[in-house]
Amino acid sequence: MRPISVPFVRSLGSLAAAALTAACVAASPAARAAVNARVFDRVWSLVDSRYYDPRAQGVDWAAAHAAFRPRALAAPDENALYAVLTTMLQPLNDDHAYVQSPAEVRREALGESARPLLGVRIVRRGTGYAVDDVRPGSPADAAGVETGWIVESADGRPYDVGVVRVDGVPVSLVFRDVGGATRTLTIAPRTASPGPERYPVRRVGDAYVLAFDNFDPGAADWLYEQLRAVPDGAPLVVDLRGNGGGRVVEVERALGCFLPRGARVAEMRTRRGRPRVSTVLGACPAGVDGPVAVLVGRRSRSGAEMFAAALQEAGRATVVGGRTAGALLSSLQYPLPDGGRLTLSEADFVTARGNRIERFGLPPDLAVEVTQADRRAGRDPALDAAVALVARQAAARPLRSAGPETPE
């Protein structure tokens, strides 16, 4: 999960301090309680002073402090602590207000490095974890794991994202499926890379297709370079189905390849009511003038929703796939005393036409479902539909003459 954010960079010194804190916590319950107190107080005070809505969505934030602080101090480990913090944040009903435990932060920092993997993308849901995606061909896929399942336990203990798996050593996992039934599966992880986050432009049928999974620093420059390979007027599909967002400025720069410089994209309003108008930034060396489709789905979040909505509202692209996540508030990330992280919404967000995507999601112009069975069979009906659509649009465009005709 990657919201629109401007992350605070942590120094090596602070990382070392977090490691020392972890060692102290392991030494005594009193040390654990002391660290829990510092983490809780940091989270509560940041929400109290920085959250974009000073009314905290109607939540009595002072009462939350009184109710949850004793539970946080009594938490015996970081998993229990972050479950308490997650429960406290839930009434805000805001996908951009969440915590990540030190283990989750460390796991995220591994990036694309190869390691033993089950082949599932696990996300925190409430006080537990759920399967957000299953990689085709992975051990989890072969075992029949489905998206939406809740992870109840691993090897008889509560699921812990920080556990390092061993290649080939089976893990006994208990899931609760979407119907509420319990399923126990034994899965042996296999060393693999989590997969690239950017996929070079490629030809699919009569269209060009590119996909990328975030708007992190450098994303717009990468997009510029990829678009050089797309001929003038050629149909293009931009696949954002796995894109979790990133930096606002990267979205604004990327839009410069499709929309006029200075075009209004959105408006963000801070806690004090100060508006910031988001506009398209120029400098794209290879603007796109052919038909465009944008692929989205439930994993398209934040900056991906902003990008797709801007092109949809401007009539510059057809949005294909499924409804997006509905997680579009501008946010910042804050390090916590134990090495964890708080992400917090610091500005409200509406599109250029005043539409709110937060909690609702962006509906596609053309809805196409892709099932796990499709993915296992190597089918992608949403991509097929998008390619066919832009190819038809390109074929219907009038041909441009190279110069004045000369009658014979």
> Which of the 8 DSSP states describes residue 330?
E
b/e per residue, 363-386, with b = 16+ CB within 10 A?
Answer: ebeeebebebeebeeeebebbebb
Distance between CA 336 and CA 382 in Å, rounded? 40
Phi, psi of 56 (to 5 degrees): 50, 45
CA angle 155, 115, 169 (to 5 degrees): 35
The structure's pTM equals 0.80
Q: Is the pLDDT of residue 137 over 70?
A: yes
Could you give all domains of the chain from N- to C-terminal order, each with its CATH number?
12-95 (no CATH), 113-192 (2.30.42.10), 198-396 (3.90.226.10)
Distance between CA 340 and CA 313 in Å, rounded? 38
Distance between CA 170 and CA 185 in Å, rounded? 10
Would you place residue 64 in the very low, low, confident or very high pLDDT band (cuts 50, 70, 90)? very high
Please write the tens of the pLDDT for every residue from 190-214: 999 877 789 999 999 999 999 999 9
Considering only CA atoms, which of 391, 371, 408, 398 is closest in space to residue 134?
371
Say if CB 364 and CB 321 are below 8 A apart.
yes
Q: From residue 98, how far is each of 127, 187, 339 by CA, in Å?
A: 11, 29, 15
Length of the chain: 408
Any idea which residue has 């009595």 for tokens? 60
The DSSP bridge partners found for residue 367 are 321
Distance between CA 92 and CA 77 in Å, rounded? 25
Task: With residue 402 as reference, give the H or E element that holds it.
Answer: none
Distance between CA 83 and CA 98 in Å, rounded? 11
Please write the tens of the pLDDT for every residue from 342-400: 999 988 889 999 999 988 999 999 999 999 899 889 999 999 999 999 999 999 987 55
Compare 62 and 21 and report the one with higher pLDDT.
62
